Amino acid sequence: MHSSVTLSSTPNVVDELLDSIEVGIVILNKQFEVEVWNKFMANHSGKRASSLLGTSLFEHFPEIDKQWLTAKVDPVFSLKSPVFIIWEQRPYLFKFGSSRPVTSAASHMYQNVTMFPLVGDSGSVENFCILVYDVTEQALGKRGMAELNEELKITSRVDGLTGLYNRRYWQERFEELYKLSKRRNKPSTAMMLDIDHFKRVNDTYGHQAGDKVIKMLAALIKRCVRETDLAGRYGGEEFAIILTDSTLENATRVAERIRGLAELLEVEHDGQTITFTVSLGLAQFEQSLNGPMVWLEQADQALYRAKESGRNQYCVHEVELE
C-alpha cells in the first residue's frame, strides 16, 4: 500500500484506485509535505511512497523550482481554484524518463499537470492534490507535425533538382530584396545565366544527362556566390542570382568566374564526357528603377546580348543603351 489516505468507509478500494490509475496522484499539505504518492508516481520516479511520506517534495526533486511552484500553487489556497500547467508552457513538472524509451523519440515524459484544493471539514484548504498526466505521445505528435510543416515549407521553396530556390519563392524574396535596396543605399547586382545550346546537350546525350548538367552547374553557382546572395532556378536551364552588396564591377568578376569554371566543367554521363558553356547578363540596381521586374528585365536583355554576341560570355546592362 503506497498511499496514506484512508477513507473511513472503503479504504482498500480507494487505495486500489489510486494505484491502478494511469495518472500520477500526489497530495501535499501547505508545507509541500507528501501525504499521498500513488503507484504511477512511484513507478516513474523510482521513489517509493514510504520514503517520501511526511517529507518535503523539494527534498526529493531538486528539478522543481520551489519558488516557482509555491507561487503557482498560491491560487489553490487563496482562491480555492484549480491551476493547470500544460506541456507547451513547461514540458514537465517531475523529470521522469519517457515511458517508452525504446520506441519514443522523447528523452523525458511530457506532462500536463492539474493542481486543485482539498477542502477540509473546517472549510479551509489544508491540502492540495497534483494530478500528473503523461502526454508524451500527444506532445511528440504535435512536435512531429511542426517538424513536418517545416520540412514542407522548405520543399515548397526549393527546386528538387538543384537545391536552389524555385522560381516562385525566388521571385517572392527578390521583390523583398528590391524594396530593401530602395531603402538602403547599397549596391546590388542582378545576374541572369543561361546554358548555351542546351537543347543540343539534351538531343545528343539525353534528358537525364541534361539534368545532370543543370545539377552540376547549380552546385558550381552555389560555390561562386555568397550565402547572402539570392540564387534561384528561374527556368529549365536558366538561373537568376541577386548579388547583394555587390557593385557591377564585383559582379562582373563573379560572372567571369562562373563562366570560366563552367567552361572547364566536365560532366560524366554513361561513360561520356559532356562539356558546355554559359552566357550571363548583369544589371546593377539603380534608385531610378521602376519596379523589380524592370531590373530583372535589364539583366535578361544583357543576357540576350551575350547570346547574340557569340555566347560563352557575360554582358552588362548599360544605361545609355536603354
Ligand X SMILES: Nc1nc2c(ncn2[C@@H]2O[C@H](COP(=O)(O)OP(=O)(O)OP(=O)(O)O)[C@@H](O)[C@H]2O)c(=O)[nH]1
The answer to whether 230 touches 244, Cβ cutoff 8 Å, is yes
Nearest approach in angstroms of CB 250 to ligand X is: 26
Q: What one-character DSSP code corresponds to residue 169?
A: H
Q: What one-character DSSP code corresponds to residue 131?
A: E
Type of residue found at 210: G
Cell of 141: 505528435
Stretch that binds ligand X, among 13-21, 203-211, 289-297, 314-322 (CB under 6 A): 203-211
Element (H, E) at 286: none
By the rule CB under 6 A, 300 interacts with ligand X: no
By the rule CB under 6 A, 163 interacts with ligand X: no
Residue 32's nearest CA partner among 153, 114, 115, 143 is 115
* Half-sphere exposure in the Cβ direction for 143 (13 Å, CA): 13
By the rule CB under 6 A, 216 interacts with ligand X: no
Number of CB atoms found within 10 A of residue 186's CB: 12
**Residue selected from 19, 211, 245, 297 as contacting ligand X according to rule CB under 6 A:** 211
Stretch that binds ligand X, among 68-76, 140-148, 208-216, 258-266 (CB under 6 A): 208-216
Binding mask 228-247 for ligand X (x = CB under 6 A): --------xx----------
Nearest approach in angstroms of CB 161 to ligand X is: 6
The residue among 193 and 296 lying less far from ligand X, judged by its C-beta, is 193
Stretch that binds ligand X, among 27-35, 188-196, 240-248, 255-263 (CB under 6 A): 188-196
Element (H, E) at 147: helix 136-157
- How many residues at the interface with ligand X, by CB under 6 A? 15
Nearest approach in angstroms of CB 233 to ligand X is: 8
Question: How many Å apart are CA 225 and CA 22, to the nearest integer?
Answer: 57
Binding site for ligand X (CB under 6 A): 194-199, 202, 207, 210-211, 214, 236-237, 307, 311
